[in-house]
Chains A and B, each alone.
Chain A
Amino acid sequence: MTPGNEIESWGRVFKAPHPVTTPAFLSDACAALTGSKRSTLALGAARSYGDVCLNRDNELVCTTALDRMIEADWSTGIIRAEAGLTLDALLRIVVPKGWFLPVTPGTKFVTLGGAVANDVHGKNHESAGTVGCHVRRIGLARSSGDVLELSESENSELFQGTIGGLGLTGFILWVELALKQIGSSDIEVETLAIADLDHFFRLAAGSADWEYTVAWVDCLAKGKGLGRGLFMRGRHWPQGALRVHRSPRLAVPFDAPSWLLNSTTVRLFNLAYRSRPWVMGRQTVHYDPFFYPLDSILNWNRLYGPRGFFQHQSVVPMHAAVGAVQRLLTLTGDFQEGSFLVVLKLFGERKSPGLLSFPIAGATLALDLPNHGDSTRKLLQAMTDMVVEAGGRVYPAKDATMSAEAFRLGYSQWPRLESLRDPKIMSDFWRRVTQ
C-alpha cells in the first residue's frame, strides 16, 4: 500500500492524500476489500468530476492494473473483462473485429468498472439507454469475503444496485458486456445550425434516423437567440475499414494560469466554435473525433488552472424540459461565469436496470464552470434548485456541490442503495449526500 498518495478527481477541486493499493489480480482486490482497516472504495481512472471516486482519510483501491480480458466471443460480441480495463483499451481490441461499445461516454479514458458504477450514457441514449442496459453479468466482491455473480436473474437486487451504484455495493471485479456490431470505424455526421431552443427540440425530434445526437449551445447567446448553437447527429457508416484510434498527441503539461479562461476567451472560443463553415453539412469522420473530441488533448482539465473547475449535468423530465432549459441557460448567461462547452441532449424512454441510474426521459444539460469559489458555488446551487423544482436531478458522476436534500429529492430510491451498500465501502459523495 502506498501511503498518502495525493488523489484528485477530474475537476481538480478535491485533492486529498489517500492510502492507495493497486492490486494486480482480482484475488488481490478481494483481499484488499476484506482486509481494509477503515472504509474503502474502488477507484478507476478518476475521470469522474467531483467526489464519487474519493474517500478522504480512508482507503482507495485502484483498479487500473486489473485490465485483462477474461473472455471474448467474436461471433456474438459478448466480452467479459476486468473492471480496470479502459474503454480506450477495449476499443483497440474490439474495433478491428467489427465491434463497438454499445454506449460510450464522451471520453474513452474511463474504466469499465467506473462506467458501470456511474451507469454512463452517450449520444445514443434515445435508442440504446445507458451502458447498464448492455451489461449481462457482473462479478462483485463483498467485504464478507463472498464473490458473487450478478445478473437480471441472479442476485438481481444487487445487480440493479451495482449498476449506477457508485461503487458502493462491493468491488466490481469484472463486467460482461454485449457489444454492438459495426461495418466500419467511420461515422456519418451531419452538423446543423440551431437558431434557438425551439429549433433544438424540433431537430432532436426529427432525428430518429440518426443513432447519435448532441447539441452544443453557445452559452453567451441571450434573449431570442437563447439556445443558439450546433446540432450534431451521426450514425455508423455501414461499410469500410475498421481502424483503431490513435493515441493522443497533445498534452497539457502543467496548470494553465487561472486567468486563461475568462469571459473574453470564452466569448472568443464560442464565437470560433460557431464559425466553422467546414464542419457544417454532411461528412464522414472516424469515431474518435466524433465521440471523443476532448480526448485528443490529454489532461485538458489543467486548462482550468490550479483551482480546477466544476461541471453541472442535470436532467429534467420532458414535460418541463423547454421551460427548465430556458431558465437554466438564462441563469448561466446572467452569471457571466462563462462555460466553454454547454452540451444539450435529449434522453429517451429506455430504462436502465440500475437503481440509481441518472438518466430519465427528458432533456439533459451539461456545462463546465471554472472554480471561482463562492460565486461559482452559488450558481451551481441555483441551477440545482431549478432542476429539482422542475422534477429533475443532478448527475453524481459530475457533481461536487449538490445538497443532501437535492440528492434525496432527485433519487428517492437512495435508501435501497444504502441498504445494499457494503458496510466497508464509503465515498466522500455518499457521506455528503446521506449523512
Chain B
Amino acid sequence: MNSTAGRNIWIFGGSSAIAQAYARLAAERGAKLLLVGRNNDHLQANAADLVARGGKVAVEVLDLAGQADRDAVLGGFIERHGFPDEVQIAYGILGEQERALSDLALAADIINVNFVSVALWLLAIRARRDPARPLTLIVIGSVAGDRGRASNFIYGSAKGGLDRFLEGLQHTYAGTSLHIVRVKPGFVDTPMTAAIKKGGPLWAKPERVAVDIQKAVDRHAAVVYTPWFWRPIMLIIRLLPRFLFDRLKI
C-alpha cells in the first residue's frame, strides 16, 4: 500500500457518490483534495465531510461538461493547488435510454458529457502535466461500455468510446510515469441510479467500489472491474456469439 499522505488528488465530479467514497478513503490517509463540479453547495457539503475526516480540501466550481478553455482552467488549478499526483474523472450522466432514442438533445448530452467532454479533459491534462512527476489518471467508465446492448447502448457507447480512447492513452504511455486506471463498475447504488429498482447480489455500494479503485491505484492496475465478478460476467457477454446474444433481453 502506498502512502496517500500529502498526495494531491483532483476529483472531476466531486459530488458523485463514487468519488465521495473514494475521497473519504484518501482523506483518512491524509490526502490533499480538490473537488471540481457544478454545484457549489454540494461540493461544500462534501468538502466539509472530508475535512472532518482528516483531508485538506479545496473546491473549484465549474461545469465540466460545458465549453471551457480547458488549458487555461487547468493552468489556474495548477497555480492555485499545485500539480496533481492523481486526477479522477468521476462525473457522468446515465440518461434514460428509452427517452434518448427519440429525444436527440438528450442523446447528444449523454454522448457529449460521458465521452466527448471527458476525452477533451484527458487531452488537456496530458498536455499540461509535468513529465518529471508521476501522474495517475483514474477514469470511471462502466461495464455498459463493454458491448452494445438494447437496454442502454447510448450511454454504453459513450462509455465504450471512452474506453477505446483510454486504451489508446495507455498504449501511448505504457512504461512511463503516466498511469491510467480504467474503472468499470457494474450496478452501483448511487443517486445516478435512483430510478432503477435495486437490491440483489449484483448491486454494490459506492464504498465497495471506492476500495476496489484504491487497490487498483495502489497496484497500478490498468483495468478494474468492480465488484470483481463483473470481469467474468462481461467476458461471457463479450464472447457470446451473436445468434445467442440476440436472444437475450439485456
A: residues with CB less than 8 A from B are 1-6, 21-27, 65, 68-72, 79, 93
Contacts and interface: CB of A to CB of B under 8 A. Distances in A.
Interface string B1-32: 00000000000000101000000000000000
B53 A2 contact: no
A68 B46 contact: yes
A21 B191 CA distance: 9
Contact of A25 (B45, B53, B190): B45
Interface stretch (B87-95, B147-155, B196-204): B196-204
Contacts of A72: 52
Contacts of B53: 69, 93
Contacts of B104: none
Interface residues of B, number: 18
Given A68-B49, A69-B49, A72-B52, A27 B41 contact: yes
Given A2-B194, A68-B45, A70-B52, 12 more contacts: A2-B195, A2-B196, A3-B197, A4-B197, A5-B197, A24-B15, A24-B42, A68-B46, A70-B49, A71-B52, A72-B52, A93-B52
A22 B15 CA distance: 15
Given A27-B41, A65-B191, A93-B53, A70 B199 contact: no
B48 interface: yes
Contacts, number: 49
B28 to A, nearest CB: 8
A71 B194 contact: no
Interface string B44-76: 011011001100000000000000000000000
Contacts of B49: 68-70
B191 A22 contact: yes
A39 B59 CA distance: 37
12 contacts: A1-B195, A2-B198, A3-B197, A5-B197, A21-B194, A22-B191, A23-B191, A24-B190, A27-B41, A65-B190, A69-B49, A69-B52
Contact of B17 (A4, A24, A69, A93): A24
A93 B28 CA distance: 9
B3 to A, nearest CB: 17
Contacts of A70: 45, 48-49, 52
A2 B197 contact: yes
A419 B148 CA distance: 56
A25 B195 contact: no
B198 A68 contact: no
